Structure formats: structure tokens, C-alpha cells
């Protein structure tokens, strides 16, 4: 509005002055002509400046398109809904090459209803104005441009479904779809579905005369029967694949537990008897000596001088032969050495207790009985922590541990309280982890070792930091409204089945769909996802005589890493199975899968009302002895290839 008013004022003033000059008797036309020339020059300059802005706009659009296409062409340009660091750096480099600073460019992920996630680059550059300054307050105007691109797999054709020993069955309202996909059967394709399926090529080992009896008359299948390739033997394209060979070797190597010599068990120093009884109330005390019969402290600060040297094997401990009871606001300070408590360590209700190493001290705490905390709050500092019996946080209290290592014999029991552990490593020996109610247990980084143990999360939250994670003869179960998260790392499960029936289970922490976040390998055990949301981005799974079963009606997101050299997992391999079946049977679930399912000796089945999609830059394909897809299952397919899979950018509509 202000611009219009200013222009009106200028025009009115110009007309008034021109009228005055025209009325003058001497030189009126000359003066009028001079002013007209000035106005014409100004208007020409303004038009030229506007033209330069249009040229600038075009150049900015060129840079935005070049930068965005280059970014979208990088491997794994979109990771977990955000642009990868490589994509952002590539876009910035293109801007610099074209004479622009990198800070004028922003790369993000946007969503399209028709094309899904798009990589979008926006370029904004302020341009100083000359005559145009009269129309702005700042004297400059921002010239911007935007470019979007979809990211698609570089493998545009190849196997999407292939059987190696028997039939490929698609029926009962099921459907598959995949541009560039080849569907191949070692015998016949049975297609009897009223849902439409579209692929690029179909190969069968049967002749056309025999195959025609396996295609229902009302089949909505593209290509149709007359376009099949007949009498085509099905060969295994992965029989010499290096990824499969590496996964098979890893599974075969799990025939024995390799950590026997390095696994740490709870410390059990020799029993001692006698010594004086220690009792402190509302005081500060320093204690020397190596043998005491018991300790009671209330609202006190008690410092033990210890032996003065580190003792990680507890060869020469300071021993309390009976129990320890702490109440009120109490602090226990420990000098260097090992402290063996042969009785129960009890924390009174409502107590606030700190058990800390002295400054610079190296402390080992070896408990021969259990810890019990009711409603108290207990903090342990950094120390080697060993317990033969359980850590019991049984009535809503809080226990916090610093960094370990941790040798846990009797296990961890928590109800509605909170337990927090620093970094490990963590060794669970026969005792397990039981989050029995709505409480929270949080661990720092591992590694984690569970030996003849159990892992149960009933209704609360359990979070483990980065691993690795090693389980031997252990059971892992989640139930009800529980939330369980494992950080990044390899997970090896030696005769350790996993049963998931909680609200949410996440593997690999925040995930990394490009470089990998985890792997999950089962030896004579399997994975059953019965209910709840399951998320594993950047994960590969291996099964040696163990099955994969997904029956939850909640969303499952399982993607294999796409990098040729991932930190975890194997490029574009979702699962490799030996000696067992792979089954997905769900209700009306919406899943996201990426990677190859390879089960050369057994069956792969997809059935139920689930719909699976493929994330940007991913693929989904199945090679198996037999394949059955039925009962309303709807699977999106894209060839994974047998080697390195690159990505290509496609300009968005």
C-alpha cells in the first residue's frame, strides 16, 4: 500500500510540474523535453534492473536443480526422513562450484502425496537494488529457487520373486507390484486373485500347456499368460553371493559360545568372620581397617580408607561380614581397594544414599548378597560393581550407577521405580533382567553379555545403549505396554529366542538405513513379533534353524543397510535363513520393508491384510524354495540386485 501511495504522489507531482513548465512563456518545451528524457532513462534503468532479477532467478533455479540432483544421486540420500550428511555436503559443493557460497543453500526432505518423500533444495540469495531501493526498506530483495527430486533404486530391473524348488502362489485377494520386476518359478505360478498385480516379466519352468491350468480365468495379472516365458529353469542367483557367504559363515561360527575365557563372573572372595560393628548417626567419621561385622549409618558421612591400591580381583578385600543398613541422608566414601559385603545391603524407605569412590580412587564393590531398595534413592559412583545376588528395586525407588564394569549374578529386578546404569561392559551370569511393572531401566553403552539368563520387560521401559549384544541360552520377552530399545551394535543369539508382545521394540537405536545400525543373528532359535510396533532401520537378520514370524497388527519397519560397506549388517539383505520358514501374517498393518529375503531351503509366506511399501532408496525381493502370498496381502516389490546398488535421482513432478 505504501508503494502505491508513493507512486501516486510522484506521478501527481510530476504532472503538476509539467503543467507549470508548459505554462511558462520562455523555454517551456526545452525544459519539458529534458525532464522527459530523465524519466525515460529512469524507467529504462528500472526495466533493466527488473530484467537482471529475472536472469538471476533463472540462474538460481539452475543451481538449485544441479545441486539437488547431485545430492539426490548420492548413496542413501534420505536417511530416516532426513537428508544424509553426504547429500547436504554434495549440494553445497555444487553451489560453490557455480560461484555461490554454500550458506545460501538448504537441503531438506519434503513429502508428496503422490511421490512420497522428496529431497528438496532451496537457494536464497539477497540482491542489492539501485533504482528499486525506493520500493523496499532494506534496499535489497531475496531471489529464491526450489528444486525437488525423488530417490529411486539404481537397480531398475531384476528378480523380485523367485522360487528355487517349487511353486510360487499368489491367491485370495493378494497382489504384488513392481516396475522392472521379474517373477520366476521353479515349477509353476499359481495366480488366482481378484486383486491386480503388475510386474515386468514372468518366467516359469512349466510349458504353456501345463501352466494355463494354474492361472484363474478372472486373474488380473500383467503381463498375461501369453506373455510368460515358459520352460525356463530357475537357478539360484545368490549361490555365490559374498554377502550370503559371510552371513552363513557367521552363523556356522555360532556353534559354540566364544566368550568362555573372557566372560566375567561375580567376584567371590573368601568369607571372613568377626570384626567390630560400625554404627553412625548424625555424624562424620573416617574408618580404617579391613574387617568389620556390620555397618549402620543414618544421616552420616562415613569414609573408608580402604587398602590404598586397586584390587579388581578382590584378593585382599575390606570385608563387612554381616549386613549394611543405610538410612536418612547418608554418604559412604570409599578409598582404593575392594569392599566385600557378605550380608544384605539394605536402603531404608525414603533414604537418600550416595556410595562414592574418593577422589582418584579405584574401587571394587563385591556384594555377596542382594541389594534391596524400597522407596529410597541410591547413587553409586564409578566402580567395578559385582553382585552374586539380585539388585532389587522393588517399591518405586531410584537407583543410579556410574560407569562399571558390572558383574551381575542374581539379576536385576525393578517394579515401578527407576534404575540407571552408566557405561559397561555388562556381564549377566544366570541372573537376568526383570522390569516387572511400569518402571524404567536405562543402560549406557556396553558391550552386553547374557549367559543362562532372562530378559523380561512386562509393562515399563528398558533402554540399552550401543552394544554389541551377546546372548547364550537366554530368553527375551516383552509384553503389554512395554517399550524396549537396543542401541547400535551386532546381536548374536545362541539358542536364545525372542518373543515380542509389547507396545514397541526398536533395534539399532535411532537407526541408520544407509550405513547400518545393527544385525540380529539367531542360532537354533528364532524371532516372533506377536504384537506392537517393531522398528529396525539398517538391520540384517540371519537364522540358523530358527524362524522369522511377524504376526503383529502394528506397523513394522525393517530395512537393510544400503551402503556397499555398512558398519553393521549386509548391503540390501533383510534376512538369510537356513533350515526354517519366514512368515508374515498380519491384520490391517502398514509396513515398510527394504532388502532381500533369502531362504533357499524353505518357504516364505506373506498373508493377511497387511500392505508393505519400500522406503526411498530401498528394494524388496524374495528368493526362496517356495513362496506363498495370499489372503489380501499387498506387497510392493523392487529388485535388489546381487551386488552394489546405487541410487538415481528423478525430478519431482
Residue ranges of the domains in the chain? 2-151, 158-255
Structural Rg of the chain based on CA atoms: 35
- Residue 606, pLDDT > 50, answer yes
pLDDT for 123 equals 82
Residue 155 predicted with pLDDT over 70 = no
C-alpha cell at 423: 557405561
Give the pairing of strands 181-185 and 158-163.
Answer: parallel
Looking at per-residue pLDDT, the higher value among 219 and 311 belongs to 311
Nearest to 640 by CA among 275, 28, 162: 162
Q: Is 9 helix (H, G, I), strand (E, B) or coil?
A: helix
pLDDT digits (tens, 9 = 90+) for 547-581: 999 999 899 999 999 999 999 999 999 999 999 99
* Window from 96-105, 195-204, 234-243, 588-597 with minimum mean pLDDT: 96-105
> If you search the block for the grid coordinates 543414618, which residue do you land on?
298
Unique residue bearing C-alpha cell 575390606: 318
Please report the pLDDT score of residue 385 as a whole number: 98
Query: Dihedral sign, CA of 265, 507, 181, 639?
Result: negative
pLDDT interval class at 113 (50, 70, 90): very low
Least confident of 337-341, 436-440, 509-513, 602-606: 509-513
For the chain, what is the mean pLDDT?
88
Task: Note the pLDDT of residue 580.
Answer: 96
Distance between CA atoms of residues 259 and 256, nearest Å = 9
Of residues 426 and 82, more confidently modeled: 426
Can you give the pLDDT at residue 640? 93
What cell was used for 22?
A: 508548459
Rounded distance, CA 332 to CA 325, Å? Answer: 12
How far apart are alpha carbons 264 and 256 in whole angstroms? 17
DSSP 3-state assignment of 239?
A: coil
What is 366-414 written as a DSSP string?
EESS-EEESS-EEEE-SSEEEESS-EEE-SS-EEEE-S--EEESS-EEE
Share of the chain above pLDDT 70, in %: 84
User: At residue 531, does pLDDT exceed 50?
Assistant: yes
Buried b (16+ CB within 10 A) or exposed e, 442-478: bbbbbbbbbbebbbbbbbbbbbbbbbbbbbbbbbbbb
For residue 642, name the pLDDT band (cuts at 50, 70, 90). Answer: low
What confidence tens digit (pLDDT) does each residue in 611-630 have?
999 998 899 999 999 999 99
Of 71-75, 346-350, 545-549, 598-602, which gets the smallest average pLDDT? 71-75
Q: How confident is the model at residue 148 (pLDDT cuts 50, 70, 90)?
A: confident
Question: Which DSSP string do the residues of 586-599 spell out, in sequence order?
Answer: ESS-EEEEEEEEEE
Cβ atoms 489, 518 nearer than 8 A:
yes
The better pLDDT of the pair 85, 463 is held by: 463
User: Is the model more confident about 107 or about 283?
Assistant: 283
CB-hemisphere CA count at 13 Å for 190?
Answer: 12
Instruction: Tell me the C-alpha to C-alpha distance, in Å, between residue 17 and each of 8, 9, 21, 27.
Output: 14, 12, 6, 14
Tell me: pLDDT of 8 over 50.
Answer: no
Taking alpha carbons only, the member of 531, 547, 648, 506 closest to residue 587 is 531
Is residue 151 within 8 A of residue 77, CB to CB? The reply is yes
Cα gap 489→474, rounded to integer Å: 18
User: E-assigned strands of 44-174?
Assistant: 78-79, 82-83, 105-112, 116-128, 140-153, 158-163, 168-171
Question: Residue 114: pLDDT band by 50, 70, 90 thresholds?
Answer: very low
> Which of the four pLDDT bands, split at 50, 70 and 90, describes residue 336?
very high
Beta strands in 269-380 (DSSP E): 276-281, 284-287, 291-298, 301-304, 318-320, 324-327, 329-334, 337-341, 345-347, 352-357, 363-367, 371-373, 377-380
Contact 332, 302 (CB under 8 A): yes
Cβ contacts of 317 within 8 Å, gap of 6 or more: 269, 290, 311, 337, 338, 339, 340, 366
Chain position carrying cell 509389547: 502
End-to-end CA distance of the chain: 36
Number of Cα atoms under 13 Å in the Cβ half of residue 3? 6
Listed as own residue / partner, the contacts of 224-227 with beta carbons closer than 8 Å and 24 or more positions apart are 227/202
Mean pLDDT of 494-510: 96
What letter does residue 18 receive in the DSSP assignment?
A: H
Please say if the pLDDT value at position 421 is more than 60. yes
pLDDT score of 72 more than 60: yes
Residue 58, sorted as left (phi over 0), alpha (psi -120 to 50) or beta, turns out to be: alpha
Beta strands at 533-537 and 504-507: parallel, antiparallel or unpaired: parallel
Whether the CB-CB separation of 617 and 641 falls below 8 Å is answered with no
pLDDT on residue 653:
46
- The one-character DSSP state at 615 is -
How many whole angstroms separate alpha carbon 72 and alpha carbon 643?
21
Confidence bin at 149 (pLDDT 50/70/90)? confident
If we measure between CA atoms, which residue out of 105, 103, 120 comes closest to residue 63?
Answer: 105
Q: What is the pLDDT of residues 12-61, one digit of tens each?
A: 555 565 556 555 545 555 555 555 665 565 565 555 555 665 666 777 78
**What is the Cα–Cα distance from 516 to 594, expressed in whole angstroms?**
12
Distance CA 604, CA 594 (A): 16
CB neighbours of 299 closer than 8 A, spacing ≥ 6?
Answer: 281, 282, 327, 328, 329, 330
Q: Which DSSP string do the residues of 76-95 spell out, in sequence order?
A: T-EETTEE-HHHHHHHHHHH
DSSP 579: S
pLDDT of residue 31: 59
Report d(CA 627, CA 581) in Å as an integer: 10
| CA proximity to 404, closest of 519, 508, 257, 267 | 267
Beta bridge partners of 255: none
- What average pLDDT does this structure show over 311-333? 97
Amino acid at each position: 500500500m505504501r508503494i502505491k501511495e508513493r507512486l501516486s504522489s510522484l506521478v501527481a507531482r510530476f504532472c503538476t510540474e509539467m503543467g507549470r513548465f508548459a505554462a511558462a512563456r520562455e523555454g517551456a518545451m526545452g525544459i519539458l523535453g529534458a525532464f522527459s528524457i530523465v524519466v525515460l532513462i529512469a524507467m529504462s534503468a528500472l526495466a533493466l534492473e527488473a530484467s537482471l532479477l529475472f536472469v538471476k532467478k533463472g540462474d538460481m533455479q539452475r543451481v538449485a536443480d544441479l545441486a539437488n540432483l547431485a545430492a539426490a544421486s548420492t548413496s542413501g540420500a534420505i536417511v530416516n526422513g532426513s537428508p544424509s550428511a553426504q547429500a547436504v555436503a554434495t549440494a553445497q559443493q555444487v553451489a560453490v562450484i557455480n560461484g555461490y557460497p554454500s550458506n545460501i543453500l538448504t537441503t531438506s526432505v519434503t513429502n508428496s502425496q503422490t511421490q512420497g518423500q522428496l529431497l528438496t533444495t532451496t537457494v536464497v540469495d539477497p540482491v542489492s537494488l539501485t533504482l528499486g531501493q525506493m520500493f523496499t526498506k532494506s534496499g535489497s530483495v531475496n531471489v529464491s529457487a526450489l528444486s525437488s527430486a525423488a530417490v529411486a533404486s539404481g537397480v531398475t530391473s531384476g528378480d523380485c520373486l523367485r522360487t528355487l524348488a517349487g511353486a510360487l502362489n499368489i491367491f485370495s485377494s493378494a497382489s504384488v507390484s513392481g516396475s522392472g520386476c521379474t517373477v520366476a518359478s521353479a515349477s509353476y505360478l499359481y495366480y488366482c486373485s481378484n486383486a491386480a498385480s503388475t510386474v515386468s516379466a514372468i518366467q516359469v519352468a512349466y510349458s504353456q500347456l501345463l501352466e494355463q491350468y494354474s492361472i484363474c480365468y478372472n486373474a488380473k495379472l500383467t503381463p498375461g499368460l501369453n506373455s510368460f516365458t515358459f520352460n525356463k529353469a530357475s537357478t539360484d542367483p545368490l549361490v555365490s553371493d559374498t554377502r550370503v557367504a559371510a552371513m552363513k559363515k557367521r552363523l556356522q561360527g555360532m556353534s559354540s559360545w566364544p566368550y568362555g575365557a573372557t566372560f566375567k563372573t561375580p567376584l567371590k572372595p573368601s568369607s571372613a568372620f568377626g570384626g567390630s560393628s560400625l554404627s553412625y548417626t548424625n555424624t562424620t567419621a573416617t574408618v580404617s581397617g579391613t574387617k568389620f561385622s556390620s555397618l549402620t549409618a543414618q544421616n552420616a558421612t562415613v569414609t573408608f580408607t580402604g587398602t590404598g591400591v586397586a584390587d579388581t580381583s578382590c584378593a585382599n578385600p575390606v570385608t563387612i561380614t554381616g549386613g549394611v543398613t543405610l538410612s536418612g541422608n547418608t554418604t559412604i566414601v570409599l578409598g582404593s581397594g575392594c569392599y566385600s559385603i557378605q550380608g544384605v545391603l539394605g536402603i531404608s524407605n525414603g533414604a537418600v544414599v550416595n556410595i562414592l569412590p574418593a577422589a582418584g580412587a579405584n574401587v571394587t564393590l563385591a556384594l555377596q548378597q542382594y541389594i534391596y531398595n524400597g522407596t529410597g534413592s541410591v547413587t553409586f559412583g564409578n566402580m567395578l560393581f559385582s553382585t552374586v545376588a539380585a539388585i532389587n528395586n522393588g517399591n518405586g525407588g531410584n537407583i543410579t550407577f556410574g560407569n562399571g564394569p558390572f558383574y551381575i549374578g542374581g539379576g536385576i529386578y525393578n517394579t515401578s521405580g527407576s534404575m540407571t546404569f552408566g557405561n559397561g561392559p555388562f556381564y549377566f551370569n544366570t541372573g537376568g533382567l526383570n522390569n516387572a511393572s511400569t518402571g524404567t531401566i536405562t543402560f549406557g553403552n556396553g558391550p552386553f553379555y547374557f549367559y543362562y539368563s532372562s530378559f523380561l520387560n512386562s509393562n515399563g521401559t528398558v533402554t540399552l545403549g550401543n552394544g554389541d549384544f551377546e546372548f547364550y541360552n537366554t530368553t527375551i520377552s516383552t509384553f503389554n505396554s512395554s517399550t524396549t530399545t537396543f542401541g547400535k551394535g551386532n546381536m548374536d543369539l545362541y539358542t536364545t529366542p525372542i518373543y515380542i508382545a509389547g507396545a514397541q521394540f526398536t533395534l539399532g537405536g535411532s537407526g541408520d538405513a544407509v550405513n547400518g545400525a545393527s544385525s540380529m543373528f539367531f542360532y537354533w532359535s528364532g524371532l516372533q513379533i506377536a504384537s506392537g510396533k517393531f522398528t529396525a532401520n539398517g538391520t540384517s537378520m540371519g537364522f540358523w534353524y530358527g524362524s522369522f514370524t511377524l504376526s503383529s497388527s502394528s506397523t513394522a519397519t525393517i530395512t537393510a543397510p544400503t551402503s556397499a560397506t555398512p558398519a553393521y549388517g549386509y548391503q540390501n539383505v533383510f534376512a538369510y535363513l537356513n533350515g526354517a520358514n519366514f512368515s508374515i501374517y498380519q491384520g490391517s498393518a502398514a509396513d515398510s520393508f527394504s532388502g532381500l529375503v533369502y531362504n533357499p531351503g524353505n518357504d516364505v509366506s506373506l498373508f493377511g491384510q497387511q500392505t508393505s511399501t519400500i522406503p526411498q532408496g530401498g528394494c524388496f525381493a524374495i528368493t526362496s524354495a517356495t513362496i506363498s502370498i495370499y489372503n489380501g496381502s499387498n506387497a510392493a516389490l523392487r529388485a535388489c540386485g546381487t551386488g552394489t546398488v546405487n541410487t538415481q535421482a528423478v525430478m519431482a513432478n
